[in-house]
Homo-oligomer: A and B are copies of this chain.
Amino acid sequence: MKVTVLTGGVGGARFLRGVVDVLHPGDVTAVVNVGDDVEVLGLAVSPDVDSVVYALAGLADEERGWGRADETWNALDSAAAFGGESWFRLGDRDVGLHLVRTQALRAGEPLSAVTARLAAAAGIETAVLPATDDRLRTWIETPSGTFSFQEWFVARGHRDPVKRVRFEGSADARPAPGVLDALLEADAILIAPSNPFVSIGPILAVERIRRALERRRVTAIAVSPLIGGRAVKGPAADMLRRLQGGTTPAHVGESYSGLIDALVFDEADAAGTDAVSALGVRPIVTHTLMRDGASRRRLAEAALDAVAVA
């Protein structure tokens, strides 16, 4: 079975790892958010792409929850001592990847081509595709002003309530090479348990990707990022409350209106089952917390099992 997974954020990367562990890695394609890409100290940082690369290559720091295992922080410390910016935590091993990517991008290589090289170098068989090679950036409108995603999320600790999410460049952004094929040729499409607004939203803001999902001929299944109406990590629950009016599975389902056939959500939210059905979306209730390799594989299996019946 060929599966294409839309993903962003660390939870998305973990889920993707589960899918890859269950299927043949070469049968999985990841379409990854680039809306929170950021330039730090002149380095082109693609946090969501890197979370995927690190998760699939077994390089991720599982305890910290982001970045690389066995990481050190000397380059950033030194840069800060010499007057450089240090608000965005870049580890030394992480910087190594950013250096290679930044050099390639400056030489004119598209992000998708660089990413393919980086993934291959890390021994990854799964296709890792940025949603677009064009510049697409997430902006967060708040009562305190409009901020780039990372400024809002990291520098300001996502404390400002979100009035609206905007995607700079989305009108002109084209799907990166391979993305539409991956959506057309997949036997199923999965949406990882990522933040619908800032992790999956930027992917769907690329019009031809959204249209491909709307016109899909195969089953599309989303996994809710919420457990008991709360985010495991990050601002997903706050954003659902403000932008979608609540944090039940149906609110998650509505954020993917017309794009999914089934929604996987946690037993803690089982009370919301009927409301999901009422959307015309098949509810699939299971344990969704990914504590370790076994639980992320189980979640992947639950989503994949639903393909047959959704």
Give chain A's interface residues, CB within 8 Å of chain B. 41-43, 68, 71-72, 74-84, 91-97, 99-100, 102-103, 106, 117-118, 121-122
Contact among B80, B93, B103 for A74, CB-based, below 8 A: B93
Given contacts A72-B72, A92-B92, A118-B83, whether A78 and B103 have CB atoms under 8 Å apart is no
Q: Which residues of the other chain, B, contact A96 by a CB distance below 8 angstroms? A: 74-82, 84
Are A95 and B75 within 8 A (Cβ)?
yes
* C-alpha spacing A84/B75, complex, angstroms: 17
Q: Bound complex: CA of A81 vs CA of B106, how far in Å? A: 20
CB distance from A50 to the nearest CB of B (A): 11
Interface core residue of A43, A77, A78, A118 (most chain B CB under 10 Å):
A78
User: What is the chain B residue whose CB lies nearest that of A86?
Assistant: B96
Q: Closest 8 CB pairs between A and B?
A: A78-B96, A42-B103, A79-B96, A74-B92, A84-B100, A78-B93, A41-B99, A75-B96
Bound complex: CA A80 to CA B80 (Å): 24
A71 partner residues in chain B, CB cutoff 8 A: 74
Query: Is the pair A79, B92 in contact by a Cβ cutoff of 8 Å?
Result: no
Among A72, A75, A96: residue with most chain B CB under 10 A: A96
- Whether the Cβ atoms of B100 and A83 lie closer than 8 Å is yes
CB distance from A105 to the nearest CB of B (A): 9
Give min CB distance, A12 to chain B, whole Å.
21
Provide the residues of chain B in CB contact with A84, threshold 8 Å. Answer: 96, 99-100, 103
- Would A93 and B77 count as touching, CB distance under 8 A? yes
The 21 listed contacts between A and B (C-beta, < 8 Å) are A68-B78, A72-B74, A74-B92, A74-B93, A75-B75, A75-B95, A75-B96, A75-B99, A76-B96, A77-B93, A77-B96, A78-B93, A81-B96, A81-B121, A81-B122, A82-B97, A82-B117, A83-B100, A84-B100, A84-B103, A95-B95
